[in-house]
Amino acid sequence: MRTAAIIPAAGRGERLGPGIPKALRVLGGAPLLVHAIRAVDQARSVDLVVVAAPPDDVTAVERLLADYEWGSDVHVVPGGQDRHASVARALATLPADVDVVLVHDAARPLAPPELVDAVAMTIRHGADACVPVVPLADTVKVVAGDKVVRTLDRSELRAVQTPQGFRRAALATAHAWAAGLPVDELSVITDDAGLVECHGVSVVAIPGAEEAFKVTRPLDLLVAEALLTRRRAASGR
């Protein structure tokens, strides 16, 4: 089985503040996108990386990535108007011999390569879909307006990370099905695991990693800078 990693990176990331697309924000001297590619590129299981870039910035992203050395083949394709469209476009470009597909957020720059391999191996061992998860630290309540409706049992709840892994056929079939959904129905499905789950595919959960958190707000970027500095110090780089 060959494994490809898709990185949707066409979003603007408004919560991180105005300016350039979130994937191109700088972390430790390199864009978030570069760190995210490194995470999957350094995994032993990944053969190919496909980046879905903003359609108007494909050439610029290609030039940016050409300044770095990669162990895997790295390709850039035009992304779509939303995450689903970007993943679908990248999926359609994969060579026929790719059997396992990982989808990884560009906004999760510090995901350990070991986590990438663990997700890929879960698919190779027979699962149709796999997600890394971590327990919730906060109490979670359902709120309507300014009223608390109920408190959920967090012992049964998990936060889902990326990369998420799929058998290619399962992911492709789910995206083909989603192409016919109304925009309002598709908008409530926020990740690819949710998409295949809605299409009847069983999703396996494995332990995630604290470092694989998502950079969404300015404070997250500061935390990522601190973790990256500690990681570099530990490795002597």
**Tens of pLDDT, residues 91-149:** 999 999 999 999 999 999 999 999 999 999 999 999 999 999 999 999 999 999 999 99
| SS3 of the chain: helix, strand, coil, percent, to 5 | 40, 25, 35
Q: pTM for this one?
A: 0.94
The yes-or-no verdict on residue 38 having pLDDT over 70 is yes
**Average pLDDT of 42-53?**
97
Domain boundaries, the chain: 2-132+159-235
Alpha-carbon separation of residue 218 from 8, 213, 224, 225 (angstroms) = 20, 13, 10, 11
- Read off φ and ψ for residue 102, nearest 5 degrees: -105, 140
163 vs 23: CA distance, rounded Å: 16
Pick the CATH number of 2-132+159-235 from 3.30.70.1230, 3.90.550.10, 1.10.3720.10, 3.40.50.11540: 3.90.550.10
Task: Tokens for 221, please give them.
Answer: 């970027």
